[in-house]
Structure formats: structure tokens, C-alpha cells
Structure 1
Amino acid sequence: MPIKLPTDFPAKSVLETEDIFAIEEKRAKQQDIRPLRLLILNLMPNKIDTEIQLLRLISQSPLQIDVDFLKLVSHNHKNVSQSHLAKFYLSFADIQNENYDGLIITGAPIEKLPFEEVDYWEELLQVMAWSQLHTTSVIHICWGAQAGLYYHYGIEKIQYDEKLFGVYPQRLRINHRLFRGFDDVFMGPQSRYTGINEHQIREDVLQIVASNEEIGATILISTDDHNIFLLGHFEYDTDSLKREFLRDQSAGLATKLPVNYFEDSSMEKVTNCWRGNAHLLYHNWLNDVYQVTPYHLEDIPKMNGK
């Protein structure tokens, strides 16, 4: 079943050209099922690109999905129109008494800043605390994963000497239902200046699901399965790393070519080797959330034991 989106939502026209179907609100209300309710906290500067990337992945489920987007009002969003935010994004005050099947917290290009120096840190803490009671499952992406690991489990980030940048093989370390159907070794994009202090991981609360010998843990999940931490970017488009590289070059940064990415020195040809993994992961996640969440969303706090 398709995603329900407002008729004039910008991503809708792009997804329709890719034969990804989004149902209009009027028709969706006539269907006698309970759709999944998802909330996306979009911290990325180019919000419309990220909206398209994530909606593309979650749209492949046979379930109808209602999606809300969340903004942090303590931050001045400079790379998106205020009319877009006002029309399509909610504030924490709008959703703090609501329950959702799932939440996605995106990355943000602020890895080098100490967490406490991020201007919206206190508001983000509110959202992460709320998520443990009011959602069935939370996916944290890249910096969002590092922030979540720090807040929930006290795991500090570590600064790299240079940007970790490219497409890396990752090996599954445990069998987990969210990675059902994955190959033992799979590829995924990484783009970050920081990692995590793995010595601070407590096995009684966190499990490393996938890792790379060179760069360490790449995917972690809490032992209660509520919190998922993706240190990479499965949602990236084929040309996302290329655009990041050119942007860094224009800014005078010493970013090296992304590893395992360009097929030759012309930087023209890229083979996407993570798209299938990305769709499978989000399909598995949505199916899992659908199976676990109570039919009545008001029962989620009881399910979470609060």
C-alpha cells in the first residue's frame, strides 16, 4: 500500500516519476485499515533531498503509511524556505502527546561540534527522551546515531584524522530479524568525520550487528530492539557522494576521493551497490514495526513499560 502525502507535497511529483505511488488524502481516508504512523526528524540542511531519499525507501512497503515531518524550532533553518517548513513540518509541541509506530532521526553535518554546543541539542534531547515512550522503534542515522548513542548509553564520539568517505563492505556479526535476507557481507555509504568509542559499548544494552575491520562498528541495535543506529547512509542516492565531494572541493576542504565509489578517474561512472540493501532494511523495519505495534497507538506507552 502507498504512502499518504498531501497533494502539493514537493517530493510527491518526484516519486511519481519513479513509479513510486503516493495516495492522496481523500482516497486514503476511505480505506478500512490502520496505516502506520511514521515521524521523520529531518536535521539535514537540504530537507527536500532527504525527504525524497527516505520516502523512496519507505514507500516500497505494502502497508499504507502516514508520514509527519518534525522540525526543531530552536534552530534557524537556512537552506529551506520557511513556507515549506510552516506547511509540511510539525514542532515538538505539536507531537509531544502523540504516539507513532516509528521515528527516523536523520544525520546532520555537524560532527565536529561537541554535542552540547549544537544549538538545538536541548530540544533534540527532549525528542529522544520522548521517543522511548511514544514510539515502537527509532532509526538513528549517522550523526543522529552518534547523538543517540551518546544520550542513551553515554558512548562518546571520536574525531578522525580525515573524513571517512566512500562505500564500505560490512559484515553481519549476528543474525537479527531486521537484516533478514541480507548477504553476509554488504556495501553501504559512509560520510563522517567522527566515529564512536567502542570500548564504551555495554553488551547488556547494545549489540553490534555489522562492522568493518578497518572502520569498526557500522550498525548497532539496542538489546530491547527499540533503538537502531546506522552510522552510514543507506538512504543516499547514487550521486550523493559525488555531490558531497564536489561541494567539499569547492569549499577548499582536503576531502579525498570516496573509496570504492568511482569506477574510473573520470568520476563519471558510479555503480550503486547498496540500493537493494537499503530497500530491504527499511522494508524489514516497517514490517517489524507493523507486527509489534499495538493496533491502538495509545497503548504504545504501556508496551514500552512506562
Structure 2
Amino acid sequence: MPLIIPRDLIVEEVLQRENIFTMRDSSAIKQDIRPLSIAIVNLMPKKEETELQLLRMLSNTALQINIDLVRMESYDPNNSDTKRLKSFYKTYDDIKNNKYDAMIITGAPIETLAYEKIKYWDELKTIFEFAKKNVYSTMFICWSAQAALYHYYKIEHKLSDEKIFGVFEFDKLKENKIVKGFDDSFLVPTSRHTYVDVEDFEDFSDLEVLAARPDTGVSLVTTKDNRFVFNFGHWEYDKDTLHNEYIRDLSQGKKISPPINYYEDNDPKKDIKIRWRSAGNLFFSNWLNYCVYQETPFAIDSIEGKSVSKFGGSSLKDAGQFAKVKKIIFSKEDRDVIVVSAPGRRFKKDTKITDELISLSDKNLRIEEVREIIKSLEEELEVQNLTRDKQVEKIKNRFLSIAEDLGLEEFWNDELKFVFDEIKDSRDKDFIVSRGEYLNAKLLAKYLNYDFIDAKDLIIFDERGQVDIEKSKRAIQSHIGENKKAVVPGFYGSDKEGKIVTFTRGGSDYTGSLIAYALDSKVYENWTDVNGIMTSDPNRDPDAKTIDKLSYTELKEIIGEGAQVYQEDAISPVAKKNITIKILNTNNPENHGTIIKD
């Protein structure tokens, strides 16, 4: 991969000796590809040595890379040529209006200092925040990995009894595109006095630990989208880097053991054995190719016209998600009709509200049975009542938490909390289970200042328990019309007596589809927690890709093969009028998602 760097940054003889392929600006302009733009925030005292090590790793693939070197303006290192720094390095003020495909932030020999006591900590925090919004994928190396985890997630590092020093063997704990092609175990040069325990990541579902061991802590962690890569090792190190550190520490009178698994037979008098280069080169190549070059997102042109937008339970699982949904809805003027599901899981061990309500309904039925049993079973009845009441409170507190976080406590007290009295006394399973969508829609309507329209007034079931399409169409047109801003609960409707009738699970898809059909919408947006329909399960296959476009027939075939990506019955209404279906990600609204249309 050719690098575009300033002409006199490194002399030509060194570049040739190190096999670093560079290109001048004039030649790069003539190539018919866009160079990657990468910033290197160099915090190491030996700037030139670190530059050379990282440039060597970045130059091993076939793409152009445009390099910006970045320094701390709030700190002048003693070991660096100030004139050279000002000639070749930029400051945050120089780059703050830029966008980068990738960024590398190096380590620094300050790991035993408290973060707040570091002279450039405030400036580095500004760069961390810049990386969140302006860089597609950022790699943090060694100390900066610890600092970034502390800044973003408040994960603290710990001080090791002895320096973690040497070349350590790690097992690959998970499959991930950044370790694609790795052997089951691999070697990583490491040099630090601090570590982070693997247990500290258990509460962060967004983080994946790819390599760790008890004596070193974690070595490689990524976010699930690989936007952040926390690399605690030094694959970029030269053959003699650890040796030079060892000699330096000895000369300073420090108590230091030789780096383990580094010298032949672990004897400092013998030769050094390089055994980390292949893994290191593959790691940097994978990062550039799979996490940066192939994944940089782009936005498709927005589709004009009235739309129906459905947000799944994962999109509305808590108040933070409500805020994201509000931002998405208000980002386009034509998102007029909103269909919602009940709150989904907030974390791995959490439960979906609909599952809770189904369980609650089952509890109520069991309570009714227990009441008819003889006195000897009254003790069990008391236990079931207690369990039921706790579950009612659990569900009530979930919604109350959302209401309080959104500043809707008065609305909750005036209009919503009384729903739980009905739930508690009801034996109607469809009514109980439907209240998750009902309450979520009520809260979102109030939060958006939209009208709430109950699905029981829109979706009409006949005597056979099937949706009466024409009656439902007339009801939708009558209650919503052309220009009304409305939130509608998905998943249920009513029969001719007005009794609640629910769809099978996933029925919110059908609700949105019917409304889009009745209103002659041009597009039906279906928002969820993945970037559209994938080629395989992204939780099991790190190489899963988004399918850009499908026909209705192809979508039915995918569903027929067992993929739970969309409710099959919901295809027919939109297909009749060739309404475009868009499968989009609430947590990544800029992603183009999957478009379904004949």
C-alpha cells in the first residue's frame, strides 16, 4: 500500500531499506482510486522511531494512504526536534475540521500517572471525542488503549506487581474480521506496567474481548462495529525494541527481568527470535481492509414522499433510544406515521417487554386456577400473587423509568399508570400482551407531540380471526388521512365487538405494512438494530454483509429458508402497490440498509 507523506519526512535510503512504498502527491492524483486518509497521533518520545514502525505496518497493502502526523500542542517532548515537529506534525486545531478514514493513537510511557495529572490529558480527551464523530475506525495502542477505555467506558486499569514484558502467546477467543486468517494462538510483543482485567468488560455488550490471559489482562478488544480497536500490544515493534528497553531499564538501576519468550532460550546473551511479524502484518492489513476500506459508510439519496416508519423493540428499549428515534423522525419532514413495538432487551440478560407481558398473562391465568383449588393450595396462591405483583411492578417501573427520563412524569400519572390496574385484573391474554405496544406508543406520541391513534380503531379482524383488509383500509384513511402526525401501536387490532386481537410475534411489521398500503405510501421504513438484511447472522458470522437490494419474491425466499428478518404476511399489502420497503438501523441511521422493491 503506497503512503503519501511529506517529501523530506524520512530520507529515501531509509524508506528503501525498510521496504516502505511511498508516492508523491503528483503521482497519487493521477491514480483512479481515493486514498485512505489516516491520522497518526504520536505520543511516544522517540517520534521518528515510532513513525517508521507504524509506516512500515501501514505500507503492506495495495491502497494509497494519505498520512497526517498529529502532536500534542499542550506539551513539548524533550526528546524531539521542535523544528521538525512543527514542520511535519499538525495540531488538533489544524485537523479539527477534517474527516479521517482511520486514526492511530500511540502509547506513551506515562501509564503509572493518574490520567488527570497528565499535562495533555484535556487535549487528548478532545481528540478522543473528535475520533467518535470524525473518524471511521480508530486504533488505540498500549497506554492509549487504556486511556480510551477509561474515557469512553470508565474502565480503570490496574498496576502490575512486575512489568508485563516480553512476547506473550494469546489464544484467539472469538472470530472477528480483524483477526481473520490468524492461527488459533499468536504472539504479541508487550511492554507495560498496567493491565485491564477481562472481567471488567462483562457489563459492556458493545465490547468484544478477542485476546486475554490472566497474567497480562486483555490484549485485544474491539467494539462490535470495529469503530474502536483497543490494541494493548506492540506488533509494530522492531527486532531490538524490547532489548533496548531492557538495557535502558538496567542502566537506570531498575529492577527488571529479561523480556520473556524473546531471546533464544530466554537468555539475554543469545540471539533475539522474531516471531510476531506475520501476525502483526496480518492484523494491520485486516484492520485497513476489513474495518476501514471496505466498511466506510455512504448515504443513499433520500426517498421523497409520505412514509410510514416502524421502530422495533430494540429501537425503543429505553429513553436513550427514544431520543435517537425522535432525532431520526424529525430529521425528515415526511415521517408522519410511526408504528412501534414494545421495548426490547437493553442488555444480554434482559427480557423483552412482550415476553414479560406474555409471562404476566400466564401468571394471571395460573392465579385464576389456583383460586379454584382447595384450601390446601392457598399457600401456593399467595406465592403466585406475590410473583405477579413483582412482575407488574417490574414492567410498570420499566415504563415509569422511560417516562421520568423523558420528563413525562405528569403524563404518566394522569394517563398511563392506571393501565396496570387493568392488566393486573384482566384474564384476556391478547389485551395484556398488547399493552407493551400501547404504552410505548402513548409515551412516544407525547414525546413527539404527535397524535396517538389506537391500533384497535385501525386494524379490524373478521369472525375467522383474519384481518379485514378493506375495513382496515377505510378505518386507517378515516383516522389518519393525508397529513396527520400520528403514533400507532403495532402488533394488535380489534374484532367487531371491539375486543383486542393480537397478531403472531412480529406483527408490528404487518401493522406498518397495512398502514403504508392504506395511505398509498411511497416507502415503508422498518427500523431495527441491524444494518438491513444480512447474508448471514452477524452475531455468528463476522463476515456477514448487508444485502443492498431485494425483490419481494427474494425476500419471501429468504424468510422461507428460516431467516427471521421480516414477517412474511406483511409483504403482501406493500407488494400489491409496489411500495418500497427499507430495512434500516436505528443505531446507525446513516447506513443505507436494505431496499425491497420489484
TM-score (norm 1): 0.94
Q: Which has the larger helix fraction? A: 2
* Contact 1:189–1:232, Cα closer than 8 Å, also in 2: yes
Looking at both structures, which has the greater relative contact order when contacts are Cα pairs under 8 Å and sequence separation is at least 6?
A: 1
Q: What is the rounded CA distance, in whole Å, between the counterparts of 1:267 and 1:150 in structure 2?
A: 39
1:291 match: 294
CA contact (8 A) 1:219 1:230 kept: yes
Query: Is 130-139 or 197-206 further displaced after alignment?
Result: 197-206
TM alignment of 1:34-53, pairs within 5 A:
34-53=34-53
Structure 1 residues 276, 203: closer, same or farther in 2, change over 3 A? same
Q: Does the alignment pair 1:198 with 2:198?
A: yes
Please list, as runs of the form range in 1=range in 2, the aligned pairs for 1:1-306 lying within 5 A after superposition.
1-10=1-10, 13-201=13-201, 202-264=203-265, 265-288=267-290, 289-294=292-297, 303=590
Query: How far apart are the structure 2 equivalents of 1:295 and 1:268?
Result: 53
CA positional deviation for 1:268:
4.0
The letter of the residue matching 1:246 is: I
Q: Counterpart of 1:37 in 2: which secondary structure?
A: strand
Contact kept, 8 Å, 2:166 with 2:260, in 1: the verdict is yes
Moved more, 13-22 or 52-61: 13-22
SS at 2:144 equivalent: helix
Shift of 1:197: 4.0
**TM-score between the two structures when normalised by the length of structure 2:** 0.49
TM-fit CA distance, 1:128: 0.3
Structure 1 ranges of 4+ moved more than 3 A: 301-304
- 1: CA distance, partners of 2:103 / 2:12: 20
Identical amino acids, percent of aligned pairs: 40
Q: Give me the whole-angstrom Cα distance separating, in 1, the residues matched to 2:32 and 2:297.
A: 17
CA distance in 2, matches of 1:193, 1:174: 26
Q: 1:87 to 1:197 in 2, by over 3 A?
A: same
What residue in structure 1 maps to residue 353 of structure 2? none
Distance 2:216 2:268 in 1: 27
1:29 is paired with a residue whose SS is helix
2:245 aligned counterpart, secondary structure: helix
Native 8 Å contact 2:197 2:218 kept in 1: no
- Residue 264 of structure 2: SS of its match in structure 1? coil
Q: Contact 2:258/2:268 (CA < 8 Å) preserved in 1?
A: no
Aligned CA distance change for structure 1 residues 156 and 14 (closer, same or farther; 3 Å): same
Amino acid across the alignment from 1:229:
F
Deviation at 1:199? 3.3
Structure 1 unpaired stretches of 5+: none
With over 3 angstroms needed to count, the CA separation of the structure-2 counterparts of 1:284 and 1:177, relative to structure 1, is same
Structure with a larger share of its residues in strand: 1
The 1:149/1:12 distance shift into structure 2, 3 A limit, reads: farther
Amino acid at match of 2:66: D
**CA deviation after TM superposition for structure 1 residue 36, in Å:** 0.2
Distance 1:132 1:303 in 2: 15
How many angstroms apart in 2 are the aligned matches of 1:206 and 1:127?
Answer: 21
CA deviations over 1:241-265 (Å, ceiling 9, x no partner): 0000001111111111000011143
Distance in 2 (alpha carbons) for counterparts of 1:268 and 1:41: 35
Following TM superposition, by how much is the alpha carbon of 1:302 offset from its aligned partner in structure 2, in angstroms? 7.4
The residue type equivalent to 2:96 in the other structure is Q
Instruction: Please identify, of 61-70 and 212-221, the stretch whose mean Cα deviation from structure 2 is larger.
Output: 212-221
- Between 216-225 and 72-81, report the one with greater CA deviation: 216-225
CA distance in 2, matches of 1:190, 1:19: 25
Unaligned runs of 5+ residues in structure 2 are 300-587, 592-598
CA 1:176–1:6: 2 relative to 1, 3 Å? same
Deviation sequence 1:171-226 (CA, Å, 0-9, x none): 11100011101001000111000011433322412110111243232111112321
* 2: CA distance, partners of 1:67 / 1:302: 29
Query: Aligned pair in 2 of structure 1 residues 215, 85: CA closer, same or farther (>3 Å)?
Result: same
Deviations 1:23-80 (A, max 9, x none): 1222122222210000000000000000000000000110000000000111121111
Q: Which moved more, 1:7-16 or 1:267-276?
A: 7-16
Larger radius of gyration: 2
Moved more, 62-71 or 193-202: 193-202
Shift of residue 83, structure 1, vs aligned partner: 1.3
**In the alignment, residue 283 of structure 1 is paired with which amino acid?**
S
Cα distance between partner residues in 1 of 2:132 and 2:193: 28
The SS at the match of 2:294 is helix
Q: What is the rounded CA distance, in whole Å, between the counterparts of 1:12 and 1:232 in structure 2?
A: 29
Distance across 1 between alignment mates of 2:119 and 2:29: 39
Between stretches 20-29 and 158-167, larger displacement belongs to 20-29
Aligned partner letter, 1:293 = T
Counterpart Cα distance in 1 of 2:200 and 2:212? 16
What CA distance in whole angstroms lies between the structure 1 residues aligned with 2:27 and 2:72? Answer: 31
**Distance in 2 between the 1:18 and 1:72 partners?**
27
**Counterpart AA for 1:276:** S
Between stretches 28-37 and 243-252, larger displacement belongs to 28-37
- Contact 1:104–1:138 (8 Å) recurs in 2: yes
Partner amino acid for 1:234? W
Q: Equivalents in 1 of 2:234, 2:258: separation in Å?
A: 17
> Matches of 1:167 and 1:88 in 2, distance apart?
33
- Determine the C-alpha separation between the residues in 2 that align with 1:6 and 1:116: 34
Q: Is the 8 A contact 1:38 1:101 kept in 2?
A: yes
> Which amino acid counterpart does residue 279 of structure 1 have in structure 2?
N
Secondary structure of residue in 2 paired with 1:292: coil
3-state SS of the aligned residue for 1:232? coil
Provide the C-alpha distance between the structure 2 equivalents of 1:203 and 1:142, rounded to a whole number of angstroms. Answer: 20
Shift of 1:232: 1.0
One-letter code of the match for 2:104? I
Please give the secondary structure, in 1, of the residue aligned with 2:124. Answer: helix
- Partners of 1:210 and 1:136 in 2: how far apart? 23
- Structure 1 contact 11–52 (Cα < 8 Å) conserved: no
Q: 1:128 to 1:43 in 2, by over 3 A?
A: same
3-state SS of 1:160 partner: strand
Q: Confirm or deny: 8 A CA contact 1:7 1:25 kept in the other structure.
A: no
